[in-house]
Amino acid sequence: MCRASSFRSQALATLFSALLLASPLPAAADTASGPAATLAMVYRDDVDPTAYWVSEKLDGVRALWDGRVLRFRSGQPIAAPQWFLDGLPRAALDGELWIGRRSFEQLSGIVRKQQPVDDEWRQVRYMVFEMPEAPGSFTERITRIRVATAGGPPWLDAVEQFRVADAAALRRRFERVVAAGGEGLMLHRADAGWVAGRSDVLLKLTPWLDAEARVVAHRPGKGRLQGMLGALEVETPDGRRFRIGSGFSDAQRRTPPAIGTTVTYRYRELTAKGLPRFPRYLRVRELP
């Protein structure tokens, strides 16, 4: 290698190291409250998408890495194999454990095991989209994310971030992603500093909305569903009750989620009374 090329490589390595060292590691998370994370609000048509970086919304499991421990958003540690963790950098990261589109149930079964199975975890990728508490704008943090994931193990990668020219271009990209089996899009303000909690610096654009509720009763089915579940009666955290009657397979209707279980459902919009219109069962909320 010539002297000039060697000098450039050393300078680049020094720059990468400086960028990572400038990203402070947050203090160890309190498992009772969970690590800090930015939570998304819903995209509105009056938002100018040109002010945002855009990425695909991955239907994975949110995972926060503090440089030492990988945790669910709740703060509970994830029992990942040590070789998987050894490949992660010391920088604090936020992202999704992911194995592909329409594969959440399979992924959930892998990451919830207290005794990880190596062959299963070799399918899992850690897709990084944020660096908690790192200074600068999101545009600057994207550079830090790319540095932190570059040259790492094959299961560590940065979520692709791109810009759109206008709302029409955003809608076209959204339609392509959904048609291919994707969840939708995420928009992150380019000039935003890192924030904890729910904020409009991060927006989600999906064909539906989702939420969680607790099962309080089973309503029997009729006709073809005689002897099986007809609908779940559920209660939201603020005490509203409604029924979910669609989205179940026959197997799920024969052995429905137990009373007291928290389930995730999807819906298009809220009624004038604040209840979800056409709620559809998605899955049991099994992750910590």
User: Which one is catalytic: 57, 113, 222, 273?
Assistant: 57
The dihedral formed by the CA atoms of 195, 200, 201 and 202, expressed in degrees to the nearest 10? 100
The DSSP string of the chain is: --HHHHHHHHHHHHHHHHHHHTSPPPPPPPTTT----EEEEE--TTS-GGGEEEEE---SEEEEE-SS-EE-TTSPBP---HHHHHTS-SS-EEEEEE--TT-HHHHHHHHT-SS--HHHHTT-EEEEEE-TT--S-HHHHHHHHHHHHTT--TTEEEPP-B--SSHHHHHHHHHHHHHTT---EEEEETTPPP--EEEEEEEEE-SSEEEEEEEEEEEEB-GGGBTSEEEEEEE-TTS-EEEE-BS--HHHHHSPPPTT-EEEEEES-B-TTSPBSS-EEEEE----
Phi-psi region of 136 (alpha: psi -120 to 50; beta: other; left: phi over 0): left
Strands 125-130 and 156-158, sheet pairing:
parallel
Is residue 273 among the annotated active site residues?
no
CA 267 – CA 244 distance, rounded (Å)? 10
CA 128 – CA 125 distance, rounded (Å)? 9
Q: Count CB neighbours of 224 within 10 A.
A: 8
Could you give the residue numbers annotated as active site? 57
